[in-house]
Amino acid sequence: MFVIATAFAEEYHSHRVLEMLQNIPGLTWTPAIPDRFKGYTVEDMKSVYSTKSMSKHSVQNVAYRAIDLPASFSWLTEKPECLEVRDQGDCGSCWAMSAVGSFSDNRCIQGKDATRVTYSEQYEISCDHIDRGCGGGNIHFDVTFMKRNGVPTDKCVSYKSGKDGKKRACPTKCDDGSAIPAHFKIDKYENVCQGEESIMAALTKGTIQTGFTVYTDFNYYTGGIYQHKFGTMEGNRAVVIIGYGRENGTKYWDVRNSWVLHGERTATSVSFVVLMNVTSKASATCRQSYDSF
């Protein structure tokens, strides 16, 4: 006689936790189970976060001064054609998505590219051997890689790791078999996270890569101004700051995530998160790259 034991994977989201969040008085954001993560197991959720600390490495600190800054600012309204949301899929590649994404934004914002060119996150995931591919990365190492090595365009090496969570070998040719052309590199990057004023002033020059600690409640976020209220640390998240503002007296940072259909403005397949804070135990660093070539 054979006995077959079937183990059911534990679903991540809990209606008990959701109800508790919905009953927190004065909550500035809307808790729900995001469509993006419906049916995800505990292991599925672990795969989308980086387990590496964001950055404790030295880099040039630059405190920008605010001169006649507007009360609110967003590249989504200033130059929406220069922004694009990428979906990392089932790969913990937010570190590459944020670094390469901000690089792509800023080349367009600065007029280095006539229209926005999507550069290859896959090349960095596969070829940056200091970081861990779909297992996470460090926002110091990723921009260092882009400064020393650079990346080709996504048209040459397209994103594939989101389909299966695999890093893949560093490509020696473009997807179509042609030679990989000269890489595009970062010439310089700075830590502009020297207080609110510095970040706001730096934002008027381009988008900014940063990171924050993810707690349980963030995985129930569907809109509003997020502020951590409940749960344990789940991992780290690298994102891109695209703007700032104030709503009903509450200051916020407008942040682009790399999860499609999660957060604000989902009707247009755009994924943005509004954060009350951009610095946390995970990172007190904001990287801004410019003078790319």
Which two three-digit tokens encode residue 2? 């054979």
pLDDT of residue 236: 86
Domain count across the chain: 1
Give the sign of the dihedral formed by CA 224, CA 285, CA 192, CA 106.
Answer: negative
For the chain, give the mean pLDDT: 83
pLDDT of residue 162: 92
Parallel/antiparallel/unpaired status of strands 208-215 and 221-226: unpaired
Contact 29, 227 (CB under 8 A): yes
How many whole angstroms separate alpha carbon 231 and alpha carbon 181? 47
- Does residue 3 belong to any structural domain of this protein? no
DSSP state of 61: B
Residues contacting residue 50 through CB under 8 Å, at least 6 positions apart: 92, 94, 95, 135, 136, 137, 235, 236, 237, 238
- Which amino acid, residue 116? R
Q: Which helix (H) or strand (E) holds 142?
A: helix 139-148
3-class SS at 1? coil
pLDDT band at residue 53 using 50, 70 and 90 as cut-offs: low
pLDDT of residue 270: 36
- Does residue 9 belong to any structural domain of this protein? no
- Does residue 117 belong to any structural domain of this protein? yes
- Does residue 40 belong to any structural domain of this protein? yes
pLDDT band at residue 290 using 50, 70 and 90 as cut-offs: low
Domain interval for residue 269: 15-290
- Does residue 8 belong to any structural domain of this protein? no
Which two three-digit tokens encode residue 13? 């989201």
Average pLDDT over residues 142-160: 95
Average pLDDT over residues 191-217: 89
Which two three-digit tokens encode residue 283? 């990172």
Kindly report the CATH number assigned to the domain that includes residue 232: 3.90.70.10
pLDDT in tens, 273-289: 666 654 333 334 566 66
How many whole angstroms separate alpha carbon 192 and alpha carbon 199? 6
How many whole angstroms separate alpha carbon 205 and alpha carbon 110? 8
- Does residue 2 belong to any structural domain of this protein? no
DSSP state of 291: S
The pTM is what? 0.85
- Which amino acid, residue 147? K
Which two three-digit tokens encode residue 52? 């590496």
- Does residue 61 belong to any structural domain of this protein? yes
The residue behind tokens 């389909």 is: 163
CA-CA distances (angstroms) from residue 155 to 122, 131, 173, 184? 11, 23, 12, 13
Contact 97, 85 (CB under 8 A): no
3-class SS at 179? strand
How many whole angstroms separate alpha carbon 250 and alpha carbon 241? 17
* Residue 156 vs residue 30, higher pLDDT: 156
pLDDT in tens, 179-190: 999 999 998 888
How many whole angstroms separate alpha carbon 273 and alpha carbon 284? 18
Give the end-to-end CA distance of the chain in Å, rounded to a whole number.
69
Which two three-digit tokens encode residue 43? 């292991």
pLDDT of residue 88: 92
pLDDT band at residue 104 using 50, 70 and 90 as cut-offs: very high
- CA-nearest of 83, 50, 66 to 207 is 83
Contact 143, 150 (CB under 8 A): no
